Structures are given as C-alpha cells and as structure tokens.
A = this chain, B = another copy of it.
C-alpha cells in the first residue's frame, strides 16, 4: 500500500473560465492513475491545495506529521516544483524509516500536454524500489533530498555536486 499526499502545485492547477485564472479544485491523481491503468494499491489524501511559492514551514510541518503518522512506509507527495527542494530538505532530516518521494509537474495535467503522467509513473516506481529516505522524482530521475536543486533557467532538477 502506497500513501499519496496531495499539496497542490502546477500538477493540479486548472483553468477557470469565468475569470481566466489558474485555480485549484480537486486533485487529478485518481483520474491519472485510472488513465495509466495503475493497479497499485494507494490511499490518496489531500492535505492542502496551494502553489508551492505559498508553502510555509507551517504547511511543511503538516506534511511532516502526516508522513510520520502514516501507517504506510511508502509515500508519494505531489508538490509544486518551485519549493520542492525546500520541502524535501525539511522532511529529509526527520523521516528516516520510510521511502518518501516528492514529485510534481511543469505543466498542469489538465492542459493536455503535461509531464505529470510521466512523473507520476516514475514516482510510483521509485517509491516501490528505493531504500528508506526522502527523494525527489523529476525529469525521469531520482535525487536524494540533500543533493538536488532546481535549475531556474531550464526548469529542470539536477544534482548539486
């Protein structure tokens, strides 16, 4: 059984017709798992629906608590990419006995040409196979929480050293 925690991010943004804004409604993860014909046992839980630029340590402490109290030792966290590395570091120092994988998307899933489905597929695979620890799964790769940064110019994740 894998726990999937939703925090928002580009991954789940939608277009609101009446105002032309990008907003959050419900997560698309269930729909995506259905599209991917996933048969992995998952529990999906939405903790918050925010842009990761708005993510504070208060929000991170909620995520941390849910991870620590989770009965499952495999956890995927859907998170905005802008501060994904900060949240990974926050969690990485405190969660040792579980495999936790953060993932997200550069393009909203609802927009039809998103990297979200690819990332979700890789995150679910990494969480089943990596040893305990906190990781980021983006760009087809996995990164340890203490050796990753987002390259602002390319929008891609890379090792620090």
Known: A17-B155, A120-B121. A128 touches B142 (CB 8 A): yes
- Collect the chain B residues with CB atoms within 8 Å of residue A112's CB: 110-113
Q: Does A119 contact B (CB under 8 A)?
A: yes
Contact-residue bracket for chain A: 35 or more
- Report the bound CA distance from A123 to B129 in whole Å: 12
- Report the bound CA distance from A10 to B22 in whole Å: 12
In the complex, what residue of chain B is closest to A14 when comparing beta carbons?
A: B111
Once the chains bind, are A115 and B15 in contact (CB under 8 Å)? no
Beyond A40-B141, A124-B140, A125-B140, 6 extra complex contacts between A and B, CB < 8 Å: A35-B113, A35-B118, A37-B106, A40-B140, A119-B121, A126-B129
- Which of A114-161 touch B at CB < 8 Å? 114-115, 117-126, 128-130, 137-142, 152, 155-158
Known: A106-B17, A111-B112, A142-B128. A118 touches B36 (CB 8 A): yes
Please report A residues at the B interface, Cβ cutoff 8 Å. 10, 13, 15, 17-18, 20, 22, 32-33, 35-40, 51, 106-108, 110-115, 117-126, 128-130, 137-142, 152, 155-158
Once the chains bind, are B32 and A118 in contact (CB under 8 Å)? yes
Once the chains bind, are A17 and B139 in contact (CB under 8 Å)? no
